[in-house]
Amino acid sequence: MSSLTKQQESKKWYLSKIDPFLEHLNSDKNTCVKEFRDLGLEKMNKLDFPTLKDEEWKYTNISPILQHNFEPALLTALQETDEKEVAKHLFKDFDFHKIVFVNGVFNSDLSSLGELPSGVAAGNLRSLIHSHPEIVKEYLNKNSDDDNFFNAMNSACTYDGFALYVPEGKHVEKPFQLLFLNGNSSVKVLSQPRNLLVLGGRSSAKVIASYQGLGSNEYLSNIVTEIYLGEEAVLDFYKVQNESVNAFHINKTQAFQSRGSVFSHYSISFGSKIARNDINSVLKGTNCECNLYGIYLSNEQQHIDNHTFVDHASPNCVSNELYKGILDDESRGVFNGKIMVRKDAQKTNAYQSNKSVLLSGTARIDTKPQLEIYADDVRCTHGATIGQLDETSLFYLRSRGISSEIAKSMLIRAFAFDVIDSVKIPEIREQIHTLIFEHLHREIIKND
């Protein structure tokens, strides 16, 4: 009973923050997204925070998040940060367009966009609302639904975030590196970026989105990313979640794929106390390809929940999914992968695999790979395995003079290999490896 009250209390708190938030918007208040914010608010009123009784939240208890009342970033004093801090979190040794957000709000001083092909609009949503209202109106929230209170709250507070518009036939060669720095030393802050990516027909782009923590104060990142791919568009999207240990991270990424488009999403989750990551793609056109790769590693008392949903709504599409988890200490991992093949989606080829290793006696994993299939001419396969590092391999390495600690690191690296190897930017690959070992407090294996 008391937890129910807590749910309602929290809901009341966040609803009470909407008016002050809107007041703060000034000239941004009555733009083309106003209507859309109102809809979000409506949904907020209707929905409640999820509980363990919701099938989709069966293994993730959000009550620790509700223990805090997080303050919308716009209503708090700006968190100071500098180039040095930014440099600490960036992936290095390659060229990129740099875009930095602090608590979900664009920071132009720390960003350097560089040159872009003509017609490409990239930067923050707030600017895009002013420069390309027609694009925002056409795509924002058109292919995504506010499934839960968190999503609705993000919609109701739509203000800023990453925005990208690539017109038909344009290719952005250099990747965008987005850095979302979150946290505020003086207040428990709520950061709610709204990201919108629209790729026209036969265009392409690469995006690296890193969510990183500033300081040790609690904060909540509540993100919604919407992706629209036109016909034959190609997008590689790398999401790196490395929030601070006291942070909470709730993310929903919704992609919409037109005919022949290729969407590759890489989810790399290290950080936060509780993380919930929803990655969904609707394969709306024929001949689409959707690749979802994921690595999640947790230690201490972390809880990382990955939900994916690949919706085959058209014939002749291919989806590939590979998620791997490494769980240490008392941490918990959740994987819930759903593949839906709708009635007319004949000749679908869907593959899904989830593998986890438990490194400690107190770690725990709950896995639920699901197939829901309504078409007959399909090939769908899913598999899940759970185990520990292989004893025989461990002995083999040790018999070659390698310490048990390094041997374990090597086997962890080997376990993660096929996911990391699929990362197409080689410079990032090795840096991710390093992050993995740092996070697991294990010895770093030198690359060949």
**Paired strand residues for 189:** 71, 219
Question: Toward other proteins, which CB reaches closer, 234 or 326?
Answer: 326
| CA dist 375 → 287, 313, 337, 346, 349 (Å) | 16, 10, 19, 6, 11
Binding mask 314-343 for other proteins (x = CB under 8 A): -----------------------------x
Q: Which of 3, 131, 393, 434 binds other proteins (CB under 8 A)?
A: 393
- Residues that bind other proteins (rule: CB under 8 A) add up to a total of 62
Q: What is the length of the chain? A: 448
Binding mask 372-391 for other proteins (x = CB under 8 A): xxxxxxxxxxxxxxxxx-x-
Q: Which of 102, 153, 410, 432 binds other proteins (CB under 8 A)?
A: 410
Q: How far is the CB of 245 from other proteins (least distance, A)?
A: 22
Rounded distance between C-alpha atoms, residue 81 and residue 129, angstroms: 26
Q: How many CB atoms lie within 10 A of CB 430?
A: 14
Q: Which of 54, 114, 186, 396 binds other proteins (CB under 8 A)?
A: 396
DSSP character string of 71-120? EEGGGSPPPP--HHHHHHHS--SS--EEEEEETTEEEEEEEE-----TT-
Radius of gyration of the chain (CA): 21
Question: Toward other proteins, which CB reaches closer, 97 or 312?
Answer: 312
Q: How far is the CB of 99 from other proteins (least distance, A)?
A: 34
Contact 246, 276 (CB under 8 A): no
| CA dist 160 → 265, 441, 446 (Å) | 22, 35, 40
29 binds other proteins (CB under 8 A): no
Question: Toward other proteins, which CB reaches closer, 216 or 381?
Answer: 381
Question: Toward other proteins, which CB reaches closer, 108 or 403?
Answer: 403
Stretch that binds other proteins, among 68-76, 129-137, 192-200, 400-408 (CB under 8 A): 400-408
| CA dist 205 → 67, 113, 124, 169, 229 (Å) | 40, 14, 16, 11, 10
Q: Which of 366, 422, 430, 431 binds other proteins (CB under 8 A)?
A: 366
Rounded distance between C-alpha atoms, residue 299 and residue 325, angstroms: 11
Residues contributing to the site for other proteins (CB under 8 A): 55, 343, 346, 356-361, 363-388, 390, 392-393, 395-404, 406-407, 410-411, 413-418, 445-448
